Amino acid sequence: MRKRERENPCTVCGHYHKFEEGEVCGICGHRMPITSDQTNASCMQTTGGAFPSQIFNDFLFLGTYDNASRSELLKAQGISRILNTVPSCQNLYKNSFVYYSLQDDKVLNFDDAVQFLEKCENEKARVLVHCMTGKSRSPAVVIAYLMKCKGWRFAQSYQWVKERRPSVELTQAVSEQLQAYEHMIFGSNEAIQPTTDSFSFGFAKSDAVAAPAFNTGAAPSIFDRPLDVPQQFAFGAGQGVNQANSTVTDIPMGGA
């Protein structure tokens, strides 16, 4: 590495990489934006653009590290707090936002993350939850929040998030951690066995949990069409669960 590169880290992520040449950071994955209109259009299609996805109006937003790096856009949306789910991602604007960062890069600490989101909700603060690409780690935290605080099962929570951010793509390891967390909350995964005839995944329409008290607009009910749940979800007894005490075990996790 040239001497100038050692003395001049990237101004966005703080790590040493050839950011001016478009090189991707080997630590956090950051790269300088390309100004070409065509490339920007392609980037917007894959990552959702400069703005994060709104999960609940006036409260919860989900996005990428790139979203978290655009302080002026976040302020324009009224976001004042940021939950960073990737330990290697630098918190860029500590004087402008209240940050909470997860410290484990293998196992997501859902309880701590949910507690932070509950505090934001109670204090009526808008919060962004982000990982690197907004596809797996950060959606998993939002799904965990819905299960713990809204009483929704995994399938219902996943569908709510997927409808508002279609790019969500949970990894197998993250899916297993969420199944384990669901088992810990509800005690059993048997009630959500998928069937070919029903889109309720084991819960009848009359048993459906009411929508949360947010201004979410006129979004269609998840019961209006089949739930789009990834095939790798094994709605069995709950992999990754210590059956003796129903605690979540350490499951290696990959993905964004």
- The size of the chain, in residues, is 256
Query: By three-state DSSP, how is residue 241 classified?
Result: strand
pLDDT of residue 108: 97
SS (H, E, C) 37-101: HHHHHHHHHHHCCCCCEEEECCCEEEECHHHHCCHHHHHHCCEEEEEECCCCCCCCCCCCCEEEE
pLDDT per residue over 30-51, tens digit each? 655 544 333 333 333 334 577 9
Angle between helices 137-150 and 154-164 (to 10 degrees): 130
13 included as an active-site residue:
no
HSE-up of residue 147 (Cα within 13 Å, Cβ side): 28
pLDDT per residue over 130-156, tens digit each? 999 999 999 999 999 999 999 999 999
Please check the confidence at residue 20 and state whether its pLDDT lies above 50.
yes
For residue 256, name the pLDDT band (cuts at 50, 70, 90): low
Lowest average pLDDT, out of 14-28, 60-74, 136-150, goes to 14-28
pLDDT per residue over 68-124, tens digit each? 999 999 999 999 999 999 999 999 999 999 999 999 989 999 999 999 999 999 999
pLDDT of residue 50: 78
Q: What is the pTM of this model?
A: 0.60
pLDDT per residue over 150-170, tens digit each? 999 999 999 999 999 999 999
Domains and CATH numbers, the chain: 3-27+52-207+221-248 (3.90.190.10)
